[in-house]
Amino acid sequence: MAAVALRVVEAGARVYRRTWRGSVISTFLNPVLYLLAMGVGLGQLVDEGAGTSTLGLPYLTFLAPGLLAATAMQTAAGEASYPVMAGIKWRKTYEAALATPLAVSDLVIGSLGWIAIRLTFVTGVFALIMTLFGATTVGEGLLSIPFAVLTGLAFAGPVMAYTARLKRETGLTMLFRFGIVPLFLFSGTFFPIEQLPDGLEPFAYVTPLWHGVSLCRGLALGLDFTVDPVVSAGYLVLWTVVGGGLAVRQMRRRLVL
């Protein structure tokens, strides 16, 4: 199965070889703009009046690892939504792939494998840029990359499963508007979740993004973890495995049954 799934990874790489120019600029530019606008610009105002609201750290230093995890989430959600919808509905490439010896499980595993490669590149660039901004050291930045990738994969499987259920692409707009964006804003990326209203704080703890932010921030900055990092990593692995299983199930229902 693994060898066959690699053909899907190869197909993703071949497509990206022809289309990389459309994403490489944003891959490098987005981290710079985020860190300049939020970390440096807004950060000056926050540092003047925040005190301990950012764990006693400069806001740029506090923000950067959280944005690393959030970028992984956004990248994975993007790769597991519209391209998957295109393969199912618009270009019908998934139906063509399944006419070969590929099984649905190979298709999903290969797609997640390609998303993992994309995440490694995107988060590696982000970690490099936040190191250049002085938010972390090279070693700690590199250490946080695998957990940022794991954060993205925790979203890729569930988003792929959700996409496979949709008949119309309007559901993807709803996903980003009412799912990805609120998680981006309220899962500890921009401020500690202890500052949320008491009724919302428990919900933040169960989101995979919060665990990804906690891991990336703790590793990149050498901070104590609120939750045992093994528990957080295991939680993200659980989301990845269950999400991948759901994606196989929904893709099989959509494309085979």
Burial of 141 (0-12, 13-18, 19+ CB in 10 A): buried
pLDDT digits (tens, 9 = 90+) for 86-107: 999 998 899 988 888 889 999 9
Q: Among 257, 240, 254, 245, which residue's Cα sits nearest to residue 94? A: 254
Q: In this prediction, what percent of the chain has a pLDDT beyond 70? A: 94
User: In angstroms, rounded to a whole number, what is the distance separating the alpha carbons of residues 101 and 9?
Assistant: 15
Q: How many CA atoms lie within 13 A of 171 on its CB side?
A: 12
The 3-state secondary structure of 24-48 reads HHHHHHHHHHHHHHHHHHHHHHHHH
Q: Among 144, 68, 82, which residue's Cα sits nearest to residue 111? A: 82
- The answer to whether residue 46 scores a pLDDT higher than 80 is no
- Contact of 119 with 153, CB cutoff 8 Å: yes
Q: Is residue 49 very low, low, confident or very high in pLDDT (cuts 50, 70, 90)?
A: low
pLDDT digits (tens, 9 = 90+) for 63-77: 899 999 999 999 999
What's the pLDDT at 50? 53
pLDDT digits (tens, 9 = 90+) for 168-221: 889 999 999 999 999 998 888 888 888 888 788 888 889 999 999 999 999 998
Sequence ranges of the domains in the chain? 2-43+51-255
- Contact of 190 with 38, CB cutoff 8 Å: yes
